[in-house]
Amino acid sequence: MRGNFLVTPTTSARRAFVALAASAALLGAAALPAVAVPAAPGSHVGSGSGSGSGFGFGFGDSARLAYQKDVTVRVLKGVFERGDTEVVDRYVRPDYIQHNPLAPDGAETLKNLGKAIHAQFPDAKYDVKRVISEGDLVLVHSNVVMAPGTKGQAVFDIFRFQGGKIAEHWDVGQSVPDTTANGNDMFSTVSWPRTGQPGPGWLTAYNKKLVTKAFDQLIVKKDLSALDRYWGPEYHQHNPNIADGVAGAKAGLGGYFKQFPQLTVSPKRIIAEGDLVAVHSHYVNAPGERGQAIVDLFRVRGGKIVEHWDVIQDVPATSANDNTMF
């Protein structure tokens, strides 16, 4: 969710970083619950509706979602922290589709990127903050730090599973600033309960419907009164350029909408689990511009949005693949 501050253009150094980190989600297995992963993936994963029946192992939906999250972490931790490419052969489809504009398609590219990162940045850490899964999609929010002592990047990665293997990837990355307008960092959970884990699964459908409606009215239709209807008074903001609370959101977004009256926002996919709902969108400030790829992540409690994180990346003029960022 954008404020009234323009995004700093992507620098060559950042582009080089993102190229190395392409396909990277996060790798802190300690942040995830222990999940028993089958010795081999099954024959089919759900299509994205959240109603899949499992892998042919008799797993229920919750176990399937946990499997997908666990596999995502196994692959990325193995590849980018240890340089282990065998996990790619085991859990990533050879025809892996890549939407990071600096990386070509294919599992071999992923393996080569992993080896390059491990060789150049042996101390790289992918500090996972939260992971959610719905249907055949997994979303990971992480702080990617290539060199110790640096703030690194805030990154959202989205992975699509097919037949129990990773088939497709989208990501958005943004440099972490030294300070923020709200006093919150880009990763912590401030609202109660202070946990990065998603809430109970029975909340998913309701919260997804609520955030979908709230996002459409506030961001797509630019109706600031939606903040009074759908946002809680204790709202916590992690966009580094917007002040905390509903008042901060009104001021920041109000200024942004005035600055760009022809703004169009096109949601591409919405992923929800429990109390967390993510919206992956294409924001275009004015006609003819390439715009930004943005992931907004919302936390819902008691029927109100109480917390928000986002990551913003400019869409570049060229891409190493033909898939766009969306």
Three-class secondary structure assignment of 149-187: CCCCEEEEEEEEEECCEEEEEEEEEEECCCCCCCCCCCC
213 domain residue, yes or no? yes
Question: Virtual CA dihedral for 234, 239, 242, 244, nearest 10 degrees?
Answer: 20
Which residue ranges of the chain lie beneath pLDDT 50? 4-59
Q: Are residues 155 and 217 in the same domain?
A: no
Q: Are residues 114 and 256 in the same domain?
A: no
User: Could you tell me if 24 and 150 lie in one domain?
Assistant: yes
Residue 2, pLDDT score: 56
What is the per-residue pLDDT for 95? 97
Q: Is the residue at 322 inside a domain?
A: no
Structure tokens at 89: 């052969």
Half-sphere exposure of 105 (CA within 13 A, CB side): 11
Per the structure, how many domains does the chain have?
A: 2
Q: Do 104 and 245 share a domain, yes or no? A: no
pLDDT at 1: 66
pLDDT score, position 296? 98
Is there a single domain that holds both residue 95 and residue 163?
Answer: yes
**pLDDT attached to residue 165:** 97
Q: What is the pLDDT of residue 11?
A: 37
Share the mean pLDDT of the chain. 85
Task: Give the residues across from 29 on adjacent strands.
Answer: none
Residue 160 belongs to a domain? yes
User: Within the chain, where are the H helices?
Assistant: 12-21, 61-82, 86-91, 107-120, 204-215, 226-230, 245-259
Question: Residue 207 and residue 212: Cα distance in Å, rounded?
Answer: 8
Is 17 in the same domain as 141?
A: yes
Give the C-alpha separation, 249 to 313, whole Å: 20
Q: What secondary structure does DSSP assign to 74-116, as a single string?
A: HHHHHHHHH---HHHHHHEEEEEEE-STTS-SSHHHHHHHHHH
- For residues 162 and 298, membership in a common domain is answered with no
Residue 166 belongs to what domain range?
A: 12-175
CATH code, domain carrying 263: 3.10.450.50
Q: Are residues 274 and 157 in the same domain?
A: no
Q: Are residues 71 and 129 in the same domain?
A: yes
CA distance linking residue 113 with residue 130, whole number of Å? 24
Placement of tokens 């955030």 in the chain: 211
| pLDDT of 127 | 86
- Does residue 122 belong to any structural domain of this protein? yes
What's the pLDDT score for residue 17? 41
Span 214-233, pLDDT tens digits? 999 999 999 999 999 999 99
User: What gap in Å lies between CA 45 and CA 34, rounded to an integer?
Assistant: 20
Q: What is the pLDDT of residue 114?
A: 86
Measured CA distances, 67 to 33, 55, 127, 132, 291 (Å): 11, 10, 20, 11, 35
pTM > 0.95: no
Number of other CB atoms surrounding residue 36 within 10 Å:
9
Residue 188 has a pLDDT of 97
Q: Round to whole Å and give the CA distance between 267 and 155.
A: 18
SS3 at position 226: helix
- Are 164 and 232 found together in one domain? no
266 inside domain: yes
Residue 307: its H or E element:
strand 304-314
Q: Are residues 142 and 206 in the same domain?
A: no
Looking at the fold, whether 137 and 214 belong to one and the same domain comes out as: no
Is 35 within a domain? yes
| pLDDT, position 167 | 98
Written as six digits, the tokens of 141 are 């929010």
